[in-house]
Amino acid sequence: MTLILNAMVSLLEVYFYLMIATILLTWFPEATKSKWYEVLYQITSPYLRIFRGVVVIGQFDFTPIIGFLVYQFGLNAFAQLVASMT
């Protein structure tokens, strides 16, 4: 059981880094036209879509930051729970 939970924590950490990669690629217009970006966007969009449009100042959308913070908080809580079970 612990092995499965540790694998889940690892997968959630990978998903976090995929979200970061997706956001960073939006800074480069040519990168958003690539197939890799489309795949990353389809993977990360369901979660980030929850927060889209919450904090927009001018042309800048700061909602990914909120999404990252919420995700990181949940990931840390889950990782601590898994660690306490071992």
Tell me the per-residue pLDDT of 28-48, one tens digit each, with 9 for 90 and over.
889 889 999 999 999 999 998
The domain of 49 spans 12-85
Give the three-state DSSP class for 86: coil
Angle at 70 between CA 78 and CA 44, to 5 degrees: 95
Return the pLDDT at 62: 82
Say if CB 38 and CB 26 are below 8 A apart.
Answer: no
Average pLDDT over the chain reads 90
Residue 1 belongs to some domain of the structure: no
The number of domains in the chain is 1
Do the domain assignments include residue 7? no
- State the pLDDT at residue 84: 92
DSSP string, 20-80: HHHHHHTTSTTGGGSHHHHHHHHHHHHHHTTTTTSSEETTEE-HHHHHHHHHHHHHHHHHH
**Domain annotation covers residue 22:** yes
Assess if residue 63 is contained within a domain: yes
Residue 51 makes CB contacts below 8 A (sequence gap 6+) with 63, 64, 66, 67, 70
* Residue 77 falls inside a structural domain: yes
The pTM for the full model equals 0.84
